[in-house]
Structure 1
């Protein structure tokens, strides 16, 4: 494993200082810090620290933009994002671009050591606290992975309030085939066969397949 060098960036001085003090107290090697995204990115490009702990929202460049740049340019630094925001879109974006850690600021000082240990073992760490808030579970995610591509397309169209006939027209299949897909989806998601149960689930969870 590469030497555990840690870089931190946050535009809130109090949190930045608190995080730095905690890491130093835990005998971790903090090699640099920044208060804006552009300075953070410049440091990462030049030094490629093992871990970079970044605020999601900073002046000049966001933590998300820095993570995207690192992925695109194959920079080996493992990105941990900390955020005030609990929106599902940011969470899913973070997973999509391959960040190694994602935690809420209100729990950052409590979770950061556990997060770093996980990351150093090449295991991504996504805070259970934010999963609870957005209603995301690994079980739901695992079930969705079992759905076929046509089934996911049907789910997406259901979320747009399309009827079976309209879905069939858009996917070039019969409405009876659409009904079969709906039945299979209900079984896979272990939902009630009560009218409207699938639509209610889709509207609540459409961020997972849109």
Structure 2
């Protein structure tokens, strides 16, 4: 098969092992020209001057959210097929990526055959979801996810939590009582339906609330 007839595929992931694993897997197929990127911004630069048939896009990148990059990719190159490849298994994130123009979502624990199958089906115009993603979409309640509104003080506390400060340090820094900080922390967990502070910070970071 000539180079001209090859499918141009890009992988955007900032984890070297994942990047190399996907690259090696897809290279086992003979009809792909593969490009890899560790930053979403680098891929956006690339796509402005190059045609890309399909991109495997991580959701959490060191220079931004894959949710936002998906929007930008579809704006710059509407014909490029975007498939999210991530460890993020929350229905709201999957749904948002699809709303932003993606044609599929694969969890990183999907097996090799499933990944290749999803790529081929997406190239044939189908919306593709790995088996576990299909189960998540079917079993979790359907609702329109809207980000909660947060106050200026809650935003300050979120930022401080993300920086690794303890409640006592936050109280001292913002000149408020320890009880007030703890109350805000509990309220933030409830607002974002987060199970813990790590998940809270991740959701806030992905949606650029800090």
Range class of TM-score, shorter chain = 0.5 to 0.7
Question: Higher Cα Rg: structure 1 or 2?
Answer: 1
RMSD (Å), alpha carbons:
2.5
1:62-81, aligned counterparts within 5 Å? Answer: 62-81=65-84
Could you tell me how far 1:134 is from its partner in structure 2? 4.9
Structure 1 residue 42 corresponds to structure 2 residue 45:
yes
Instruction: From 121, 131, 134, give the equivalent of 1:118.
Output: 121
TM-score, normalising length: structure 2 = 0.59
> Unpaired segments of 5 or more residues in structure 2?
145-210
1:85, 1:44 → 2: CA distance? 25
Higher helix share: 1
Gaps of 5+ in 1: 145-151, 153-210
C-alpha contact (below 8 Å) 2:12/2:19 kept by paired residues = yes
1:147-187 superposed Cα distances (whole Å, 9 cap, x missing partner): xxxxx9xxxxxxxxxxxxxxxxxxxxxxxxxxxxxxxxxxx
Q: Is the 8 A contact 1:6 1:28 kept in 2?
A: no
Deviation at 1:85, TM superposition (A): 0.8
| Deviation for aligned residue 1:62 | 2.5
Q: Does the C-alpha gap of structure 1 residues 37 and 74 become closer, same or farther in structure 2, counting only changes over 3 Å?
A: closer
Cα deviation per residue 1:4-46 (whole Å; 9 max; x = unaligned)? 1111111110111011011111214233111111112212222
In structure 1, C-alpha distance between the alignment counterparts of 2:66 and 2:39, rounded to whole Å: 10
Q: How does 1:192-207 map to 2 (within 5 A)?
A: none
